[in-house]
Amino acid sequence: METSSLRIFLSVVETGSVSGAAKQLNYVQSNVTARIRQLEEELGVALFIRKSRGMSLTSEGRVLKEYAEKILYLVRQASKAVNESLDLGGELIVGSMETAAAIYLPIILSKFHKENANVNLSLLTGTSEEIILKVLEHKVDCAFVGGKVNHPDIMQYKVIEEELVLFNKKPFSSIEESKNITLLVFREGCAYRAHLKHWLSYYGIRQYKIMEFGALDTILGCVEAGMGLTILPRAVAERPQYAHFKVQNLPKEISYINTSFIYHKDTALTNAMKSFLALVEKTNFF
């Protein structure tokens, strides 16, 4: 069994079809079909259920998927470790939710870069749920996410307790004004979005519209235009570029959320990873 076969296998799993995998890998469809067939012959089991539109995993396929992800992760780690031993620096992929990427990461990443100039550092942003999934799939080495993560494979510690505040063009004088509002939020899976919904249900407000965005600047631009409201850490309002926003406090019971630093318990502690962990530990986020 070759790693190239496992890559093709995982691509079919990810895209849900042979043609999708072929497009993703820049192969022709027949090549992917043949490689999957070879893998099935080698293992003596069917890995996929063929459908008229795409393929889905059999129970044996699901077992292989788990091992294939681990094997390819180990191969990547081995490559990183060898690069480090050759003093090539290796690489580190850091995941983060948008706000942490905008507020805290520039400080950490610039420090890390100064101390580890030969490490190829990548930053991947998304919602907390998306980033946690990527940590579990070993697609990022470590990450900053909102809230506490309850998963046995995740190592975590609190880096900061954020105070969340309401960003609205005209602050509410009473909660009655918040009926039929528009929420300006990140995609489903964002910890702040969940907190905002929690805040509304706290006051029994269930009628609202939702507008989703992918970037912090866009959300705040829409708040400024009077399109709706959002909740974000107070640290955002303290940034010079956002200092003109008038923010409103939330009830204390629901205004705090932890930002956690997480990594997979099986993550290989390469020099780059150790160095980043040490930096996060000694950084004062307040």
Partner DNA sequence: GACAATGGGGCTACATCTGA
Partner DNA sequence: TCAGATGTAGCCCCATTGTC
Please give the residue ranges that form the binding site for DNA (CB under 7 A).
Answer: 2, 4-5, 17-20, 26-31, 33-38, 50, 52-55
Cα dihedral 40, 46, 47, 52 sign? positive
Intra-chain end-to-end CA distance of the chain, in Å: 50
Rounded CA gap, 198 and 183, in Å?
Answer: 12
Q: Which of 263, 270, 262 is nearest to 74 (CA)?
A: 270
HSE, CB side, 13 Å, CA atoms: give it for residue 272.
28
Which residue's CB is nearer to DNA, number 27 or number 208? 27
The residue among 34 and 268 lying less far from DNA, judged by its C-beta, is 34
Nearer to DNA, 4 or 218 (CB): 4
CA angle 199, 256, 262 (to 5 degrees): 115
Q: How far is the CB of 13 from DNA (least distance, A)?
A: 11
Which is nearer to DNA, 22 or 101 (by Cβ)? 22
Shortest Å, Cβ 37 to DNA: 6
Sort strands 247-249 and 154-167 into parallel, antiparallel or unpaired.
antiparallel
Look up residue 270 and give its two tokens. Answer: 């390469």
Structural tokens at position 243? 């200092």
**CB under 8 Å to 258, separation ≥6 — which residues?**
146, 147, 148, 158, 160, 161, 162
Of 20 and 189, CB closest to DNA: 20
CB of residue 5 to DNA, shortest distance in Å = 7
> Residue 42 Cβ, how far from DNA at the closest point, in Å?
10
Q: How far is the CB of 75 from DNA (least distance, A)?
A: 16
Q: Which is nearer to DNA, 21 or 196 (CB)?
A: 21
User: CB 74 → DNA: shortest distance, Å?
Assistant: 20
Question: Do residues 184 and 230 lie in contact, with contact meaning Cβ atoms separated by under 8 Å?
Answer: yes
Q: What residue has token string 């490689």?
A: 35
